[in-house]
Amino acid sequence: MTTFNRQRRALLRTAPLALVAASVVGCASESSNKAASGSAAAAASPTAMSGNMSGMSMAATPDASGSAAASEEAAAAGATGTTPVPTQVLGTAVWQGMKITAQAMTPVPFDIYNGTSMQLDPPPKNVSFHLMVTLNDAETNVVIPYASVWATIKQGSKTPFDESLWPMISRYMGPHYGNDVVLPGSGSYELSLLISPPVSARHVEYQDVWLKPHTVTSAFRWNPPS
Ligand SMILES: [Cu+2]
C-alpha cells in the first residue's frame, strides 16, 4: 500500500464552490475540460500550485487488495466489453482525519445526470482503468461526500491525465469521485489528488478540519492487464 506524500499548498484556493460547479457542468471526458471551464477551474488547477513535498513515497503495490465493494463494482461493470482490471490501490493518505484512497478498477461507462437530462459517458478509446477516489472518516469509515477532487497523473515531463473527477454514486461504492483514465502504457506514474473541502453544512465535529484544498501525491506502477 502506498502512502501519499503530503503536499502543503502555498497558494490559497478561494473557489471550492466554483470548482464543484465546474465539475458538474464540464465535460470530464475531454482533456480540455479544465481550460474550457474558465477561471474557476483554472484557479483550481493543480498546475497553479506550488508547495513543498514531504514524507515518504513508496512504490505502489499493484495487487494490494481493494475493498470488496470495488470488486463488486468491477464485476457489475464486467459486461461492458472492456478488459477487466483487477481492483488495485494506487495510494492512500490521511488528511486531518479524512482517509483518502485512490483505486483503479475495470473501466465503466457512467451516466451523467445534470438535473434535467442523462448523458452516457462511455469509456474512452484505449481506456486503462476507472479511477475511483473515496473519502472516508478515518475513525468511523463513514463516507465523506460534497468535496471535489482533481486528479493529475504525470510520467516524467508528460501529463497523460489532468481532469476533475465526477462526484459519483454507485450501488457498491456509495459516493465517490471518479473518471475513466487513459494512460499511454505500462510504467511508473505519479498521481496527485487535489482535494477541495466538502462544501456543505457540517456537524460540529468537523468544524475545524478540511478548510482549505489539500494535495496528496503518490507514485504507482501501471501494468495493463493482458
Ligand atoms: Cu466511479
- Give the distance (Å) from ligand 1 centre to CA of residue 137: 19
Q: Which residues of 24-60 are buried (b: 16+ CB within 10 A; e: fewer)?
A: bebebbebebbeebeebbebbbbeebeeeeeeeeeeb
Q: What distance in Å separates the CA atoms of residue 25 and residue 19, rounded to the nearest whole number?
A: 10
Would you place residue 210 in the very low, low, confident or very high pLDDT band (cuts 50, 70, 90)?
A: very high
Quote the ligand 1 centre to 132 CA distance (angstroms).
5
Residue where the block lists cell 474557476: 40
Determine the distance separating the centroid of ligand 1 and the alpha carbon of 84, expressed in angstroms.
Answer: 15
Which cell numbers in the block locate residue 8?
502543503
Give the Å distance between the CA of 5 and the centre of ligand 1.
24
CA atoms within 13 A on the CB side of 102: 33
Rounded to the nearest angstrom, the distance between the alpha carbon of 8 and the centre of ligand 1 is 27
Distance 114 CA to ligand 1 centre (A): 16
User: Is residue 48 scored above 60 in pLDDT?
Assistant: no
Contact at 8 Å (CB) between 107 and 82? yes
Q: What pTM did the predictor assign?
A: 0.72
Domains of the chain: 5-222 (2.60.40.2480)
Cα of 9 vs centre of ligand 1, distance in Å, is 27
Output the CA angle 76-82-88, nearest 5 degrees.
65
Give residue 176 CA to ligand 1 midpoint distance, Å.
6
Cα 70 to ligand 1 centroid, rounded to whole Å: 9
pLDDT tens figures, 49-99? 323 233 323 334 433 334 567 777 766 655 456 789 999 999 999 999 999
128 Rama sector, left if φ>0, alpha if ψ -120 to 50, beta otherwise:
alpha
Given a cut of 60, whether residue 7 has pLDDT beyond it is no
pLDDT in tens, 23-40: 333 333 333 333 333 333
- Kindly give the distance from the C-alpha atom of residue 121 to the centroid of ligand 1, in angstroms, as a whole number: 12
How confident is the model at residue 47, as a pLDDT? 31
Q: How far is the CA of 216 from the centre of ligand 1 (A)?
A: 20
pLDDT at residue 83 in the model: 84
User: How many A from CA of 222 to the centre of ligand 1?
Assistant: 19
CA of 178 relative to ligand 1 center, distance in Å: 4
Contacts of residue 46, Cβ cutoff 8 Å, sequence gap at least 6: 150, 152, 162, 192, 194, 215
- Give the Å distance between the CA of 144 and the centre of ligand 1: 15
What's the gap in Å between 10 CA and the centre of ligand 1?
30
- The 3-state DSSP class for residue 128 equals coil
- CA–CA separation, 142 vs 226, rounded Å? 35
